[in-house]
Structure 1
Amino acid sequence: MGDIKTNRRALRHGALCLAIGLGLAVSGVAWGANTDGSIVGRTKAGATVTVRDPGTGLTRTVTADADGNFRFPFLPVGHYQLDSSKDGKPVSTTTEVNVSLGNATTVNLVERNAATTELEGVQVSAPVVINAVDVSSTEIATNVSREEIRRLPVDQNVQSVALLAPAVNKGNAGFGGISFGGSSVAENSFYVNGLNVTDFYNRNGFSEAPFAFYQEFQVKTGGYSVEFGRTTGGVVNAVTRSGTNEFKAGAEMTFEPSAWQATTKNRYWDGERYITSSEDHYSRTKMNVYASGPIVKDKLFFFAMYEARGYTPQNTNDEGTLLTQNDTDSGFWGTKIDWHINDKNLLEFMAFSDKDRNEGSVYSYDFATHTKGTKNDVITSDTGGRNWNGTFTSYLVDSLSMKLMYGRNERESFTHGLADAECNPVRIDDSADAPDVPLGCSASTMVEKRNDTRKQGRADFEWTLGDHLVRFGYDHEVDTSEYQRHYPGPGEYYYSIVHADPGSTIENDGVMPPGYDMYVRQRRYNIGGTFETTNNAYYIEDNWNITPDFLLNVGLRSDSFDNKTAEGKSYIKVDNMIAPRLGFSWDLNGDGRTKIFGNLGRYYLPVANVINIKQAGGLLDERTFYTFEGYQILERNGSQYAVPILGQQIGAVDTSQGNGTVGDLRAEVDKNMDPVYQDEAILGFQQMITDKWSWGVSGTYRKLHDAIDDMEISATPQCGGDGYIGYVMGNPGRNVTVYGDTNCDGTPDGYLTIDTSKQGWALYDASGNYLGQRGWKKPRRTFGSLEFQVDRAWDEKWMLNASYVLSWSRGNAEGPVNSDTNFDDTGRTENFDDPWVNLSGGYLPNDHRHQFKLRGTYAINKQWQVGADVTALSGSPITAYGVGNPYDKTSYHSYFICVENCADPVSENRVYVESSRGAKRTPWTFNLNASITYLLPLDEKNNLRVKFAVYNLLNQQRTTGVDQDLQTSIGSNSNTYLQPIRFQPPRFGQLTVSIDF
């Protein structure tokens, strides 16, 4: 007997090793996500278990093991019937089971002890128990189905769905996005049917389909398994609708007329209007039609949808001198094809297009008289693209299943105007005097064309080996950006008019001459090329039931990425990023109703394509500074406009950010760069109170390690510190190895290493005497939270979900973007331009101490339902930024404020004080969405649904962001510091009418 056990153990371990070997040998092609769910549970030992989808006829059968355990992996999301029998006799009655996205539904057909106990007669040994608590999961996730969304006042976009989850909030910058668990908006991933649709140019955005195209969403906020990677934020995973044996069709219309929108408030500062928005409004109409059904009964199914869109927003510029009226009539199409080749093999195909064109006609405008003048320009924006993927799922044997996926994601971004060839953009800072006519004749500030294409594939396997469920796979993606960007107008210049005191030092180290208090920055910006990045990963995971009640999850993921230049050469390449994951789930009572779970994991973040483009693409960023000599008034199409008159040049031309050539990248990229990664720890508890009520509590701690960003290395250890390298991509606060001058003859000849925690930045006095070097602080970001949640499941009468999150996000760097300074070039922030920028630690932009969320639906009767969605969010940190530092090197934003002798040309005589991060906060924000729905069954198959929803019912337009620049030049305090600049959107109404046949 002992020999038999030994042999079985050896066989099992051998099989596990083989699984690992296969996992490393699988060859496939990008990375995906769960697109399905599973059913697990207990029945009689050796019993036959059958699951069937009554809608499609899909049927799968497995045999329970010696302990009575069974598992159905890779089940499409939907409704199933479950049966079990042994020796021709039923073990239980037919059980109805819902399978949700990314979850395992536990169905115990017998009591635990009854699984191996033989009973006479019919083997119906206990009531069937379906557990709402997924005791096989060690992650934190929120599932939201299409039907739940239809009952709630949720605006029709994926971001609004993600915001239903605890610890997920809107970003605090003008470039939008959402923040998961204190991370920046550029660290998340988004999937549709396993297709990665995340914007890889700067990682803030994604391809999106209409609500009616989706079946279910899962929002993962932490602890996700090794099949997910390349994100240090969160994951939004969605699956689309599919066809069944029943032919269905329908239509849905959405109306958002401008008459149902509250007026956006104009904003005033010191009695002057600085934001003109009361004329801003829009009208939106959407109509989608769909059809689904069998092509071949029980074999081949289709779902198809088309949505026509009418969207006509209008808005004025801040001064109220230009009015832009937009129009878009682009349509969406999408389809899903499912082929059940047989009960063991499925083939799916999904495709959709979110291509969109918007044309904005720009008119001169007199806000005082509400008079529209002549048309100055037409701005056209082309966005979106076509997306598709194919997925093959196979039950190879009862214990081994496989899923293969290949797909393509396209995103276009092209904004251009008729005036681009004739007009330069002009802006003026808030402390300078504006002319009586519009500045410049261009409503566009950039001519940018980008086509991004992701080719991706993936192979995933599940292998059941006794008490072990082994999951392994490989993924690969190629992300290609075709890019062109420049400013509009003659010479491709952008003019900025800035206030500065006489004698003060401006941003290029030039000194304002006497008699002038304003200067003009003439900036030329040009870049282009085709850039490619490849990402690869292997993963393996063992879910080991050490006991029937205790699951241990052990996983390992190995990532690599290779960002390339326009010539196809490696620019930043990192291999062997090993990401371990360790989790557990303890079913406390063995009944699947109460669990304690925990997770430890490491997650890596890839380098966005914007980095390849900006540094390895021959960027020209030429900045020339002139004294301001007043305005020249010109005329175009019968309208006057002003451009600055340039006086004497101040200081040298600044091309430090890019001189138009691709330099020796060995001198611009750290040879031994470390990747950016985050470690995460989670401990949680979840319990079903009744069959309807459940509650949970969890604690999360995250720590972000390292940054990949640009630093200006102005001094090297060799040659007495007199060795200028320039801007280098590397890890601030760590050793940087670059090509430079090693023998002090003025010519680069080899690699040298700079410890940037102590060296790299040259310090000089006002006379130019070298004083030594200074280094950078290592970037740091930590996030800690306590999350409480109560849920009451829908029972055709009412449902409720409430959560509270107490959290802290602290450090000296937000992540790859800067929300507080509105800087969205991912990975090229101002955080590390010089060592004085990231000195100050404190609360980071996405820190919200308190977050309350509540959503619910109540059915008054069979025809009427009411719903609500409430959010209360404490404010975000505010920092008082200065410019400059005690050694006279200016910067756009620093944590030093000059308080005495600021106009003194001798920098040592100036007195600076450090400004702490996040010393103030924006106010709390409150948002109440409400809806009422009317349901009318016209006959057995026809259903009419009318929902009227009001968003921001109380019309709260509170401040969400302010001007954080206390000083815009050394010693010169800005009179717009703390001026509100971002706000809650005003109240609007939305009517949705749908009918299903």
Structure 2
Amino acid sequence: MGEITTNRRALRHGALCLAIGLGLAVSSSAFAANTDGTIVGRTKSGATVTARDPATGLTRTVTADAEGNFRLPYLPVGRYQVDSSKDGKPVATTADVTVSLGNATTVNLVERGSATTELEGVQVSAPVVISAVDVSSTETATNISREEIRRLPVDQNVQSVALLAPGVNKGNAGFGGISFGGSSVAENSFYVNGLNVTDFYNRNGFSEAPFAFYQEFQVKTGGYSVEFGRTTGGVVNAVTRSGTNEFKAGAEMTFEPSAWQATTKNRYWDGERYITSSEDHYSRTKMNVYASGPIVKDKLFFFAMYEARGYTPQNTDNLGTVLTQNDTDSGFWGAKIDWHINDKNLFEFMAFSDKDKNVGSVYNYDYATHTKSQRNDQIFSDTGGKNWNGTFTSYLVDNLSMKLMYGRNQREDFTRAQSDIECNPVAKVSAVPGPGVPLGCSTSTAVIKRNDTRKQGRADFEWSLGDHLIRFGYDHEVDTSIYSRHYPGPGAYYYNIYATTPGATIENGGVVPAGYNAYVRARRYEIAGTFETTNNAYYVEDNWNITPDFLLNAGLRRDAFDNKTGEGASYIKMDNMIAPRLGFSWDLKGDGTTKIFGNLGRYYLPVANVINIKQAGGLLDQRTYYAFDGYQILDRNGSPYAMPILGPQIGPVDDSQGNGTVGDLRAEVDKHMDSVYQDEAILGFQQAITDKWSWGVSGTYRKLHDAIDDMEISATPQCGGDGYIGYVMGNPGRKLTVYGDTNCDGTPDGYIDIDTSKQGWALYDAQGNYLGQRGWKKPRRSFGSLEFQVDRAWDEKWMFNASYVLSWSRGNAEGPVNSDTNFDDTGRTENFDDPWVNLSGGYLPNDHRHQFKVRGTYAITPHWQVGADLTALSGSPITGYGVGNPYDATVYHSYFICVENCADPISQNRVYQRSPRGEDRTPWTFNLNASITYLMPLDEKNNLRVKFAVYNLLNQQRTLGVDQDLQTSVGGLNPTYLQPQRFQSPRFGQLTVSLDF
């Protein structure tokens, strides 16, 4: 009796250890490709290990090595039954295993020899632990499944899912985005089924499938392995739903009526309303239907989904005089095909569309009476595109596996108004008399259309060699932007009216005719072309189990980027960017419950396509000058407007600034540019307290090196203050090689080396005498954090997750965009236009000292669940920006405030004082979401789910961003400095009803 009891205890202990091993996947990932997962573990030496997915019949079989180790890579996400046998006899109980995205699940199978006679032949399935410790991982990530999201109040978009991870926050700018670990919003990557869907135009945004199309998300916040690159921020990796042997169908409706939204507050400053938002609201309805099942049982499966969306937002302008009512009625679809060719070869095909068309009707509006009058314009917006990829997976032999993928990602961005077709913009100088009615009938100055297409292919391999797992691969992208930009209106002209005198000589050398006191410049400014960027990378990685409890991970990635001009020539080309990665994981107790892990890595950031377009396109800048013959008063939709009457042409047409060709760019880009990269170090500890509870702590340090940005080179080393070159793309604070004037005769004739840490900017005294040159400070950004997390896995009753992050983000450059000045032209910021802009170091815009996140679900009964998600975030830094500096008359945002002699036209006579970066903070913000869900099993196959969620339950509408311009002119204090400008969205309710059958 005592022996039986002992063996039963041993069996229970083995089952508990197995359960802990089964859940080693949520907080980090290990050595799995970016579309699937892996099962690893130990059994009897030479035993046959089989993993079978009962839902699809997929079966994978390997033979354990001499030490009993086995590995089953590239497994589609799902639930598997794992068996082990030798000589036709089972050597372990069957284990039910959940394989999650990007994770390696460890299964140490219990040998039969430990079981008693009366337990022979009985298979025991250990419970699955949703969250524990993965002792084979050296990276930090958070996995969130579709099932967990359905239990929580999480809004239906990928950004809301990413924000559940510790250290991930919304960007602090009007152009949105999310920030990982202090990085800017333009440094992240997004994947769907292995397809890179990141917006490569300016890297802020991504293509997004219909939300119900996703099965699981993995948010990588640091230490990710070498198959991931082209990011110095974070990675959001998603996998879509698939079909099984069971026919399934369902429908889901989501309602967000305007009646369930709290009123957005109007904002007042000095008693005056400056933001009118109380009329802003929307209604949203989504209807989703899906079907899935076998085309050929155990072989060929499908999943198909269609989602109809109705979205009708309206908003007023800040003055409350213009009302825009939008109408979006787009169909979104997605599909997935899985073909199990045999147990060693799989093929899958995924496609989805996020195309969207919106029509905005613009009306005159009277806020006092809440009435709108005649429509004066319509705005049309087309975004999104079609996306697809095919993936072939093969077990070549037991210890060598392969995955091949090819796909395309498309994005359109085209916004235009009816007035853009009918109206030219018009402006005049104050000295020219006005017509008494508005000039022109368009406030727009650009019509922009862009179509982006990414063609992506990659090959990934895994090769097991004893204690070594070798992973290697190659990926290649061709990112093409078809871009056009021009002024609105007939002929695409922008008319500017200037005061003059008869007989005066104007810009093009023409002479103003007698009798004219003003002239008109009719300007065409157009950029058009096809702009291509090629990115490729090789990687290799060795995961070496030095001992059964100590893993060393060493990898190397080689990146190359080639951004091309509108005529196809290389513009910015960098290769041989070597990114080493080194990590370790130590299973302290040898039982898979406690580990210490660490990671060192380097990550490179590519140049966004916006740089090619803005500087390497075929620019047409054509200026034609006419005498001004007064105004013509016209009418559009009942509103009068004025257009200039063109008199005789003055002088020739001037296209010296751009004739439609690309031209010579050698003077505009550093010949030997260095790439932007970030080094990262992570050290952490994780422990499973029980089979459901785990906790961890980690520290992260990141340092961003270099920047690629534009600098105005106003002096070369050898020409005594002459040798002006202009704006050059390069690395501020480093050596720059650019085409210029080598012999000081005023004609560019060769390459010049400029040490921009000391040279490149001309200095003059108050009398205009040349004093020498000054250089730029090197860009710097450092981020440090301590992260604490505790997790309690879902057990059909409740779950809980809490995290706290203490962090600092310091330096003199946020990254390739400026959140604090709301500048989103990636890589063309004001940071380095002159040496005075980035002088000031301090806390950067994405610095939030404290971040608390708590989420959980509780099942009151089997039919009722409640959920909550709370985020508390400390404020972001505020800088009081000035204009100009003590050394010259530039007017960029600066860290100097003029305090004396500010009206003196000679900048050196003015007195400035420094305005340090990040001296103040925005307030703390709190966001509480809550939900209640009703579950009803109608019969064995039909299930009804009704969830009502309230977002921002406490209706917090706190300030997120303020006006940071302390001075908007030299010496002129800005009366709206610190005026709140961006706020939390008000409370809204969301009802989701889904039926699966």
TM-score (norm 1): 0.89
Q: Where does 1:444-843 land on structure 2 (aligned, <5 Å)?
A: 444=444, 446-489=446-489, 526-619=526-619, 635-639=635-639, 662-843=662-843
Label 1:964 to 1:640 Cα distance change in 2 as closer, same or farther (>3 A).
farther
Match of 2:980 in 1: 980
Deviation at 1:267, TM superposition (A): 1.1
What is the DSSP-based 3-state SS (H/G/I as helix, E as strand, rest coil) of the residue aligned with 1:887? coil
| Deviation per residue, 1:331-363 (Å, 9 max, x gap) | 011100000000000000001111110000111
Instruction: Tell me by how many angstroms 1:966 deviates.
Output: 1.1
Alpha carbons of structure 1 residues 463 and 623: separation in structure 2 relative to 1, 3 Å: farther
2:280 is the counterpart of 1:287: no
Distance 1:973 1:551, change over 3 A: same
Deviation per residue, 1:835-870 (Å, 9 max, x gap): 011110001010000000011000000111000010
Q: Does the 8 Å CA contact 1:405/1:457 hold for their aligned counterparts?
A: yes
The amino acid across from 2:940 in the alignment is: E
Amino acid at match of 1:927: N
Unaligned runs of 5+ in 1: 1-31, 429-433, 498-519, 625-630, 647-653
Distance 1:747 1:657, change over 3 A: closer
Residue identity opposite 2:379 in structure 1: I
Give the aligned residue type for 1:362: V
| Residue aligning to 2:268 | 268
- Structure-1 separation of matches of 2:173 and 2:643: 29
Distance 1:411 1:381, change over 3 A: same
SS of 1:981's equivalent? strand
What is the SS of the residue equivalent to 1:695?
strand
Find the counterpart in structure 2 of residue 417 from structure 1.
417
SS in 2 for 1:473: strand
The alignment partner of 2:207 has SS state of: coil
Counterpart Cα distance in 2 of 1:844 and 1:613: 28
Contact 2:566 2:662 in 1 (8 A): no
How far does the alpha carbon of each residue in 1:614-651 deviate from its partner, in whole angstroms, 9 at most, with x for none?
00014468999xxxxxx9997531135799999xxxxx
> Which one is further off, 360-369 or 532-541?
360-369
Partner of residue 504, structure 2: none
Query: 2:537 and 2:222 mapped to 1: Cα distance?
Result: 20
Partner of 2:650: none
- Farther off after superposition, 401-410 or 758-767: 758-767
What CA distance in whole angstroms lies between the structure 1 residues aligned with 2:966 and 2:426?
23
Are the equivalent residues in 1 in contact too, given 2:251–2:994 (CA < 8 A)? yes
Distance 1:655 1:893, change over 3 A: farther
In structure 1, the residue matched to 2:311 is 311
When residues 435 and 608 of structure 1 are mapped into structure 2, their CA distance, relative to the original with a 3 A threshold, is farther
Kindly indicate whether the alpha-carbon contact (under 8 Å) linking 1:105 and 1:130 is maintained by their aligned counterparts in 2: no
- Structure 1 residues 36 and 655: alpha-carbon distance in aligned structure 2, compared to 1, 3 A threshold: farther
- The corresponding residue for 1:908 is 908
Instruction: Between 960-969 and 73-82, report the one with greater CA deviation.
Output: 960-969
How far apart are 1:969 and its partner, in Å? 1.4
Q: Which string of whole-angstrom CA distances, capped at 9 and with x for unpartnered residues, describes residues 13-62 of structure 1?
A: xxxxxxxxxxxxxxxxxxx9610000011111111111000000000111
> Which residue does 2:224 correspond to in 1?
224
Deviations 1:262-282 (A, max 9, x none): 111111111111111111111
Q: How does 1:305-344 map to 2 (within 5 A)?
A: 305-344=305-344
Per-residue CA distance 1:780-837 (angstroms, 9 max, x = gap):
0000000000000000000001000000000000000001111111000110110011
Distance 1:791 1:528, change over 3 A: same
- What is the letter of the counterpart of residue 787 of structure 1? E
The separation in 2 between residues aligned to 1:969 and 1:460, in whole angstroms, is 56
* Equivalent residue, structure 1, for 2:845: 845
1:50-61 equivalences in 2 (<5 Å): 50-61=50-61
Q: What is the identity, as a one-letter code, of the residue corresponding to 2:717?
A: P
Q: How does 1:210-249 map to 2 (within 5 A)?
A: 210-249=210-249
Deviations 1:934-968 (A, max 9, x none): 00000000000000001001111111011111111
Partner of 2:926 in structure 1?
926
How far the C-alpha of 1:907 sits from its partner, in A, is 2.3
Letter in 2 for 1:421: I
Pair 1:442–1:701, CA change in 2 (3 A): same
Q: Are the structure 2 counterparts of residues 282 and 495 from structure 1 closer, same or farther at C-alpha, using a change threshold of 3 Å?
A: farther
Cα shift at 1:123 = 10
Q: What pairs with 1:422-437 in structure 2 (closer than 5 Å)?
A: 422-423=422-423
| Shift of residue 186, structure 1, vs aligned partner | 0.4
Structure 1 CA distance for aligned equivalents of residues 645 and 808 of structure 2? 49
Q: Secondary structure at the match of 1:666?
A: coil
Are residues 622 and 418 of structure 1, via their aligned partners in 2, closer, same or farther at CA, if it must alter by over 3 Å? same
Structure 1 residues 71 and 33 mapped into 2: Cα distance closer, same or farther (>3 Å)? Answer: closer
The structural deviation recorded for 1:526 is 3.2
Instruction: Indicate if the aligned counterparts of 2:441 and 2:641 stay in contact, CA closer than 8 A.
Output: yes
Within a 5 Å distance, the mapping from 1:15-30 to structure 2 comes to: none
User: Counterparts of 2:712 and 2:701 in 1: how far apart (Å)?
Assistant: 33
How many Å separate the matches in 1 of 2:493 and 2:275?
A: 25
Letter in 2 for 1:331: G
Q: What CA deviation, in whole Å up to 9, does each residue of 1:192-214 have, x standing for no partner? A: 00000000000011110122100
CA distance in 1, matches of 2:738, 2:640: 52
CA contact (8 A) 1:109 1:129 kept: no
Aligned to 2:867: 867
Is contact 2:93–2:110 with CA below 8 Å preserved after alignment?
no
AA partner of residue 153 (structure 1): P
Distance in 2, matches of 1:655 and 1:273, equals 46
| C-alpha distance in 2 between matches for 1:386 and 1:134 | 37
Output the amino acid matched with 1:178.
Answer: I
Q: What is the aligned partner in structure 1 of residue 948 from structure 2? A: 948
Superposed CA deviations along residues 164-198 of structure 1, whole A, max 9, x for unmatched, are 00000000111100000000000000000000000
Q: TM-score, normalised by structure 2?
A: 0.89
**Total equivalences in the alignment:** 927
Task: State the alpha-carbon separation in 2 of the partners of residues 641 and 34 from structure 1.
Answer: 57
Match of 1:200 in 2: 200
TM-aligned CA deviation for residue 371 of structure 1: 1.2
RMSD: 3.1
Indicate conservation of the 8 Å contact 1:967/1:974, yes or no. yes
CA contact under 8 A between 1:107 and 1:129: conserved in structure 2?
Answer: no
State yes or no: 1:156 paired with 2:156: yes
Partner AA of 2:678 in structure 1? Q
CA 1:66–1:311 in structure 2 vs 1: closer, same or farther (change >3 Å)?
A: same
- Distance verdict in 2 for CA 1:262–1:128, change over 3 Å: closer
Shifted more, 318-327 versus 935-944: the winner is: 318-327
Equivalent in the alignment of 2:382: 382
User: What is the aligned partner in structure 1 of residue 502 from structure 2?
Assistant: none
SS of structure 2 residue aligned to 1:860? strand
SS for the counterpart of 2:678 is strand
Q: Is the 8 A contact 1:89 1:123 kept in 2?
A: no
- One-letter identity of the residue aligned with 2:941: K
Moved more, 361-370 or 804-813: 361-370
d(CA) in 1 for partners of 2:424, 2:270? 30
Indicate conservation of the 8 Å contact 2:567/2:662, yes or no: no
Q: Partner of 2:103 in structure 1?
A: 103
Letter in 1 for 2:64: A
Q: Given that residues 91 and 122 in structure 1 are in contact (C-alpha distance below 8 angstroms), is that contact kept between their aligned partners in structure 2?
A: no
Secondary structure of 1:865's partner? strand
Give how far 1:422 is off.
3.7
> Counterpart amino acid of 2:928?
L
Question: What letter matches 1:468 in structure 2?
Answer: H
CA distance in 1, matches of 2:837, 2:643: 33
Shift of 1:114: 8.4
CA spacing shift, 1:129–1:541, aligned 2, 3 Å: farther
Contact 2:37 2:75 in 1 (8 A): yes
Q: Which residue of 1 aligns with 2:170?
A: 170
Matches within 5 A, 1:351-430: 351-423=351-423
- Higher mean C-alpha displacement, 203-212 vs 889-898: 889-898
TM-superposed CA distance for 1:427, in Å, is 11
